[in-house]
Structure 1
Amino acid sequence: MANVPEDKRREEGNHPDHAHKSLLKSDALYQYILETSVYPREPECMKELRLITANHPWNGMAAAADEVQFLGMLLKMLNAKNTMEIGVYTGYSLLAAALALPDDGKILAFDINRENYELGLPMFKKAGVAHKIDFREGPALPVLDQMVHDEKHKGSLDFVFVDADKENYLSYHRRVLELVRVGGVIGYDNTLWNGSVAAPPDAPLPDHVRRLRGHILELNKHLAADPRVEICHLSIADGLTLCRRLA
């Protein structure tokens, strides 16, 4: 990042894969946000997990630190108690959620890779919040299908965060909208998709960005027209869309 020594970048976990987690035009401005408002208030357990994650080969999958800080505050503002996270990776955003919930709060968390989740598990135990997590290894959709057919689960969640396979974002939306309460919130990560959503069709894009771009465009179009939710499309990190259930 501009004007930031390499050793400082490594200390904070800003390896090259993290350099474009924000769409801000100035890397120095983004670093200013992190060093002024995010890192000084980051709990030590979260810093440790962020640095562990930064050294993982897939570290680009991690949610951005400023986005995670925002989500933790949002959960407190919602007085959230029962939440869900679809897509966990090493659990950086999950840890922030667990810290934000009351002691009897619960998070149902899905990921297809338990090994990555277990990298972060020691930090959950160290923070004293491991008891709040119900981790399920495997795809989320079969479990969501069971939940939507059980009346006790409908409207039971205060918040859902989705940061998983982009191909299934719409499928997740159709299900979790039934599970979140009226006034509850669903958050979809990566909804600006490296800025590609505004790129012309012939723009040069990395293969994985081009391959999944259509799914993000379809989701954004659907959410904008869905009368059941009030939306806010934020330009934080790689794009975060919040949907507040209206009915």
Structure 2
Amino acid sequence: MEIGVYTGYSLLSTALALPEDGKILALDINRENYEIGLPIIEKAGVAHKIDFREGPALPLLDQMVDDVNFHGSFDFVFVDANKDNYLNYHKRLIDLVKVGGVIGYNNTLWNGSLVAPAYAPLRKYVRYYRDFVLELNKALAADPRVEICQLPVGDGITLCRRIS
């Protein structure tokens, strides 16, 4: 599953890595952005692996959590959507990812702002989302159901392997 597709760059990478019968549930609030990258996805021959759903992710995740058939049904989830919902996504995704599966959260170093002093000048959107990303990082570090590894690549990616 991928939450926050934008134009589909990471979606394409994941689809290329999947076996021919692999599937990705792709969630994004804007289909127009996804369609920008769709010709490349089609040219790569992996469009049949993608089930794109337009709309907010939380209502669909709630439906899936309510249906026990979805519990433990995902091997991998990549989250790169609205940072203020990362913790809400995690609370739902932990039930949907199988034990041994991985959830990846993008931008968990958040422009270096997490270690910046409170008085540091930050762009407005960086300052707004800073506390949400910090709260997520603290919650993941304390979550006994996952082992985490934060990769200092780009703007940071935190990988959570579900262990229970």
Q: TM-score, with normalisation over the residues of structure 1?
A: 0.66
SS in 2 for 1:242: strand
Match of 1:214 among 128, 131, 143: 131
What is the CA distance between 1:160 and its match in structure 2?
Answer: 0.3
Rounded to whole Å, the distance in 2 between the matches of 1:197 and 1:234 is 15
What letter matches 2:144 in structure 1? P
Tell me by how many angstroms 1:125 deviates.
1.0
Report Cα offsets for 1:16-60 as digits up to 9, x if no partner: xxxxxxxxxxxxxxxxxxxxxxxxxxxxxxxxxxxxxxxxxxxxx
User: Which of 174, 178, 197 is residue 91 of structure 2 equivalent to?
Assistant: 174
Extract structure 1 runs of 4+ deviating beyond 4 A.
Answer: none
- Give the corresponding residue for 1:150: 67
Q: Does 1:112 align with 2:29?
A: yes
Which protein has the larger Cα radius of gyration, Structure 1 or Structure 2?
1
The equivalent residue for 2:80 is 163
User: Which residue of structure 1 lines up, in the alignment, with residue 8 of structure 2?
Assistant: 91
SS in 1 for 2:144: coil
Alignment deviations for residues 88-140 of structure 1 (CA, whole Å, 9 cap, x no partner): 00000000000000010000000111001001111111111000000000100
SS at the partner of 2:122? coil
- Is 1:189 equivalent to 2:103 in the alignment? no
Q: Structure 2, unaligned stretches of length 5 or more? A: none
Normalised by the length of structure 2, the TM-score is 0.99
Aligned to 1:130: 47
Structure number with higher helix proportion: 1
